[in-house]
Chains A and B, each alone.
Chain A
Amino acid sequence: MKTKIPLSLSVTRHLAQAVLSPQRAREEVLSLAPGEARGRFALEGILNVACLQLKAGQFHRFGDWLQHMAALMGEALKKESLLVCLPKYAFLELVRCLPSGGEGLFYALRSPEAYRQLLEGLGDYLCQLACEVFDALAQRYGVYLAAGVIPTRVGDSWRHRMYLFGGEGEPYTQDELSPGAFARQAGITPGEELAVKQTASGTFLLLGEEDLGYYEYLKIGAAMGADVVVTPSWENPDVMAAVDLPRLRAQEENLFVVRTAAVCDGLNPVVSGAYGPVALSRMRDGIIRETARGEEERVLTARLDLDRLHGLVDLEVAQRSPELEAQLRELYFPEGE
């Protein structure tokens, strides 16, 4: 069912396309100075990642936002980061830069109805714009860029699709498998596929923040060979829940989980971090690197040792129980299919 697009949104879309077309935005990104260093200088078996914990809503002009992104990317590249991760709704920063109504639209995240209206009115344009901009950023700086969620139309429905730009050809994408209540109320439908992206520098899996509630997705991803799970997040509603689930999932499945949050209204302290198996963390707590619980924008970098990860022995495999699995299978698929 299609929602009627309010006139203001329709006008905004035409204005936006006229002033900031996806192609023009791409060209502007590609005209950026490449900075002191470029990515792709990975050491074998080591993956340097950067979480850009952005402060939302700082810029109203695309050019200003882009210069700021260039500065942050430069910081990430100084630490030789090959994988750069953005927060969940990074694309909304582009909405805010639109010529009119951007600021109002930014508050779309305050209610599912407003978010749905944003998607119906501007969604296709925003998806195209965000893909062009983030793909160009990845290309310009020679990194893999996990660009958070970009709402994408699939048939008559909308998906919260996560994108990883920078590989050869099409970007790697993964839809949220268990969207949260807000997204579902806004009409976001769950994904139907789960896939990993193999690269020379590691095998990546993108998962939504709510997806981390389900160990099954990580288990499937790990069985497909994933060693780094990237989870884009927004402001943490609760520090404990936000911090600990990625860390605990990393320990359960013997892989790295990288989570990037955004600083929004400053009401909630946010945490971004890279987590891994206990044996690979300095304090034996599963934390590889983590931001302090604060409200500041910052670039967090972490060094993920994939060689050591592959050398770990999975004790759980030794304790597998076919009887337990049979019971689980029966309950997961009650009709016996």
Chain B
Amino acid sequence: MLKYTELVLDHFKNPRNLGRIENPDAEATEGSIACGDMMTVYLKIEDNRIVDIKFESYGCAANIATASMMTEVVKGLTLEEAKKITWKDIVERLGGLPPVKYHCSNLAIDTLRKAISAYEESLVGK
């Protein structure tokens, strides 16, 4: 029924950038327990660049794997570059996902973008 690629299983077994950041520059949570899919992303930003990113996840293997891959992809990118990353990019990098799981990848990107927006909004008025 659900066939995961080796890469997805790897990111599931060994997620990258797991955990929290003390005093993050931005933090965002998307999804809900009711949906069975939830993620929190923490960002450390310097000179508009994501120097550190961590995540926590409540959800299925695809959820964990896409979050992990997403953090790997955007770590070190500028905010502008990070905003351009799409869910399809994540799926491609993972070597594909069962279509029914695409929404997990969506969640990862949505959470990232929400964190970036929160950061940018916090700058306004500074």
**Is B truly associated with A?**
no
Write the residues of chain B forming the contact surface with A, with a CB cutoff of 8 angstroms: none
Write the residues of chain A forming the contact surface with B, with a CB cutoff of 8 angstroms: none
